[in-house]
Amino acid sequence: MKPAFNTPDWVLAALDERRQHDLVRQTMTLNSAQVPHTQIHSQNFTAFCSNDYLGLANHPKLIAAMNDTAQVYGVGGGSSHLVCGHLTPHQMLEEALADWLGYERVMLFSTGYMANLGVISALTGKHRPVVQDKLNHASLIDGALLAQAPLRRYLHGDVKSAEKLLSKSSDSGLLVTDGVFSMDGDVAPLADLSALAARHDWMLMVDDAHGLGCLGDAGRGCMSLAGLNAQTMPILVGTFGKAFGTAGAFVATSHDFADYLTQFARPYVYTTAMSPAMAGATSASLQIIQSDEGEERRARLAEHVAYFRQRVKSLPVALMPSNTAIQPIVIGDSKSAIRLSEQLKALGIWCTAIRPPTVPAGSARLRITLSAAHSDADLVLLCDSLEKVLTAKLSNATR
């Protein structure tokens, strides 16, 4: 028999509070690969909540590259990059990414969360402040907390608000923003933020986890959209778990910054390197992203976004200003968001309700994400289902 645990009262109280406010999270197990037509608890669904924006997570070329790399270099990294865990597939991927994006150096990290913790905690401190967008990802906020750095947050997407904070600071520091905001889907005003950072002698750091691969020339992301480069965006963080369809992350920067992070970014120094097999698969993904196939997938994704927005604008909800794969529908209270999510599941649509504290209080939502792997019929099914449940919601509210 398993031992009985004496759970502290404060743990039970915290869980009970989450339940009372419809905020409990739980894991669902997929019984299939990460593809639009999936199985959960042996039921078939069309999923619209994955970050696999280009539909590469189950691509045969990635699977073959992973297997081929594993045959030569094995599966595990075995150690940190600085001991004996930096293998040839890692180096090849770093060089290919640096060439693609136009940076002097790229450093691989095991996850995007660790990349953001590592960079911000190394580059800031008690006398090097951090100014961030109010809707930045949790990992960016946590990086500043780890560094014990003075942290101020400007109004979302508001360059004037950011400038006020920089002007009030007696020390220069790190200006940090997402490229594409993960819960709203909108794009940061990077050109203006870059100019602002230059005027005040601050460093600009951008986490473009949701833009790279999907947006810009050859999929170079928000940097390309804004007309920026390695000089005007000195620190770029990207992840492989979204458009790349694999796992892990990277930081693109200069030789000097990379040398500094190698010494002082603790999540880089003290973590086993990502799997060399995963690095091999990611290199194959990068080749697709840069190819004609990548262009075709980005075009198909853009078509899906346009169709979705055209259909949904006639429904009794307000669309958010997003032209990316992330198309949120804000419902408001958590209970209503959960109810709508369950109604969509009954129609064969899997779309998880996102609730506080992931999003601000009162803005629980359906975070709908589109993929190049979705078919036109999938988009029709989604929009027809949304029309059915949202029209029914409006009808019930007016009774």
Mark the binding-site residues for pyridoxal 5'-phosphate, compressed into ranges.
112-113, 182, 210, 239
Place of tokens 């109004």: 155
Of 287, 332, 381, nearest in space to 37 by CA: 381
Give me the residues paired with residue 108 across strands: 250
| In contact, 269 and 311? CB cutoff 8 Å | no
Residue 224 to residues 101, 210, 211, 355: CA-CA distances in angstroms? 9, 14, 10, 32
Beta-carbon contacts of residue 109 (< 8 Å; ≥ 6 apart): 115, 118, 248, 249, 250, 251, 267, 268, 271, 274
| Residue 360 three-state SS | coil
Distance CA 173, CA 219 (A): 29
3-state SS record for 388-399: HHHHHHHHHHCC
Counting Cα atoms < 13 Å in the Cβ hemisphere of 146 gives 20
What is the residue-wise DSSP string for 176-233? EEESB-TTT--B--HHHHHHHHHHTT-EEEEE-TTTTTTSSGGG-THHHHTT--TTTS
Beta-carbon contacts of residue 33 (< 8 Å; ≥ 6 apart): 57, 58
Place of tokens 């739980």: 26
Which residues are annotated as part of the binding site? 25, 112-113, 137, 182, 210, 239, 358
The Cα angle at residue 267 between residues 91 and 174, in degrees rounded to 5: 95
Place of tokens 């920089």: 166
Distance CA 317, CA 297 (A): 28
Which residues are annotated as part of the binding site for substrate? 25, 137, 358
Place of tokens 């660790």: 114
In eight-state DSSP terms, residue 265 is -
